[in-house]
Structure 1
Amino acid sequence: MSDEHRAARAADALWAAWTSGDRIAALPDDIRPRDDAEGFAAQLAIGEHAGRTYGWKIAATTTAGQAHIGVNGPLPGPLFERFRHEPGDVLPSADMHMRVVEAEFAYLMGSDVAPEAGPDEILSAVAGLHLAVEVPDSRFTHFETVGAPHLLADCACASRFVLGPEVPDWGGYDLSTWATEVWINGERVATGSGGNVLGDPRTALVWIAEDLRRHGHGLRAGELVTTGTTTAPVPVGPGDEVRAAFGDLGEVAFRFAG
């Protein structure tokens, strides 16, 4: 079986689980990704089912997150247009498996990032900053034990995403020390800061630009990069009202269907 066919079949199996709401223990041996490259190829193949992407997410940007899912570093995953939401939306809840939300900073790219670009050039390609909440999920029953190639194939636990307001004059803020909070049903349940994202969300942006290169991809103008959770992932359930507060920068609020 060719590598391309293996990736397509892995994507078929994962998309079937994604759309049915069923969870799988692991991909069958004959199509199981053997390394990160095969896992990434499978996530790209899922795009044939899920449709248009508008950017990237980064999973496991905290040491605690990496330890929880048994990986040695962050993982990239695509953001699919069909799962994008706006503040005030009511998000489906019946098919949630991980049942968590994450308050994040997201960069909007203003220009393509050249393959040879260094950190300064990567950062200079940014056109804007948004506040956001990710609602990650996995198609695996025990996502915390399947390993990095499986998680890459699973789009790094990509699922729903709430894109919040753009931050004016964003370049003047030190996000590495910027405080964040998550409130559920009017109660503050988590606090954190941009420093939880690889020490600085800018570091996460540089990381994904460099990591995508090894897979033959790059960041492009108009793409959004959400950089990882600033607090511990916050448990949620049907009917919950969510508010991620970013101090003077603003907030992102929405709720889940009951």
Structure 2
Amino acid sequence: MSDEKRAARAAEALWAAWTSGERIVALPEEIRPRDDAEGFAAQLAMGAHAGRSYGWKIAATTPAGQAHIGVSGPLPGPLFERFRHDPGDVLASDDMHMRVVEAEFAYLMGADVPPGAGPDEVLAAVDGLHLAVEVPDSRFTHFETVGAPQLLADCACTGRFVLGPEVPGWAEHDLATWETSVWINGERAATGSGGNVLGDPRNALAWIAEDLHRHGRGLRAGELVTTGTTTAPVPVGPGDEVRADFGELGEVSFSFGR
């Protein structure tokens, strides 16, 4: 079986689990990605099913997150338009598996990032910064143990995403020390800061620019990059009201259906 066919069949299997709500223990051995490159190829093949993507997420940007899912570093994954939401929306809850939310900083790219670009050049390509909340999810029953190649094929646990307001004067703020918190049903559930994202969300942006080029891709103008959770992932359930508080920068609020 060709590598292209293996990737396509892996994407088909994962999409079937995504749309049915059933979880799988692992991909069948004959189509299971054997390394990161094959996992990323399967991830790209998911677009034939999920539709248009508008940017990227970064999973496991903290040592605790990496240890939790058994990987040695962050993982990139696509953001799909069909799972994008606005503040105030009511998100479906009946298909959630991981059942967590994450408060994040998301960069909007204003220019393509050329191969080999350094951190300053990557940051210079940014057009804006948004506040956001990711609702990650996985198609695997035990996503913590399947390993990086299969997690990459599973789009690095991408799920729903709530894009919040743009931050005026974003470049003036030191996000590495910027405090954040997540509130569930009016009670504070977690606190953190931008420093939990590889030390600084700008570091995460530079990391994904380099990693995508390693896979033969690159950051493009108009793409959004959400850089990873600033707090520990916060458990949620049906009917919960979520508010991610970024202090004077603003907030992102939404709820889950019952």
Q: TM-score range by the shorter chain?
A: over 0.9
The amino acid of 1:36's aligned partner reads D
TM score, norm. by length of structure 1: 1.00
How far apart are the structure 1 equivalents of 2:84 and 2:153?
A: 20
Show structure 1 runs of 4+ deviating over 3 A.
none
How far apart are the structure 1 equivalents of 2:18 and 2:254?
A: 23
- Residue-by-residue CA offset, 1:36-58 (whole Å, 9 max, x unaligned): 00000000000000000000000
- Residue-by-residue CA offset, 1:153-183 (whole Å, 9 max, x unaligned): 0000001000000000000000000000000
1:67-216 equivalences under 5 Å are 67-216=67-216
Q: What runs of 5+ residues in structure 2 fail to find an aligned partner? A: none
The amino acid of 2:63's aligned partner reads T
How far apart are the structure 1 equivalents of 2:99 and 2:119?
A: 34
* 2:106 aligned counterpart, secondary structure: strand
How far apart are the structure 2 equivalents of 1:117 and 1:139?
A: 34
Partner of 1:9: 9
Question: Are residue 47 (structure 1) and residue 29 (structure 2) matched?
Answer: no
Count of residues paired in the alignment: 258
1:11-30 equivalences under 5 Å are 11-30=11-30
1:33-44 equivalences under 5 Å are 33-44=33-44
CA RMSD of aligned residues (A): 0.3
- Residue-by-residue CA offset, 1:53-98 (whole Å, 9 max, x unaligned): 0000000000000000000000000000000000000000000000
* 1:30 aligned counterpart, secondary structure: coil
How far apart are the structure 2 equivalents of 1:99 and 1:119?
A: 33
The amino acid of 1:22's aligned partner reads E
How far apart are the structure 2 equivalents of 1:121 and 1:95?
A: 40
The amino acid of 1:168's aligned partner reads P
Partner of 1:255: 255
How far apart are the structure 1 equivalents of 2:249 and 2:119?
A: 25
* 1:207 aligned counterpart, secondary structure: helix
Q: What runs of 5+ residues in structure 1 fail to find an aligned partner? A: none
How far apart are the structure 1 equivalents of 2:101 and 2:236?
A: 7
- Residue-by-residue CA offset, 1:114-171 (whole Å, 9 max, x unaligned): 1131111101000000000000000000000000000000000001000000000000
CA contact (8 A) 2:116 2:210 kept: no
How far apart are the structure 1 equivalents of 2:119 and 2:67?
A: 27
* 1:143 aligned counterpart, secondary structure: coil
TM score, norm. by length of structure 2: 1.00
The amino acid of 1:103's aligned partner reads A
- Residue-by-residue CA offset, 1:186-241 (whole Å, 9 max, x unaligned): 00010000000000000000000000011000000000000000000000000000
The amino acid of 2:240's aligned partner reads D
The amino acid of 1:204's aligned partner reads A
How far apart are the structure 2 equivalents of 1:28 and 1:229?
A: 31
How far apart are the structure 2 equivalents of 1:169 and 1:214?
A: 32
The amino acid of 2:58's aligned partner reads I
How far apart are the structure 2 equivalents of 1:161 and 1:200?
A: 21
How far apart are the structure 2 equivalents of 1:122 and 1:11?
A: 30
Partner of 1:57: 57
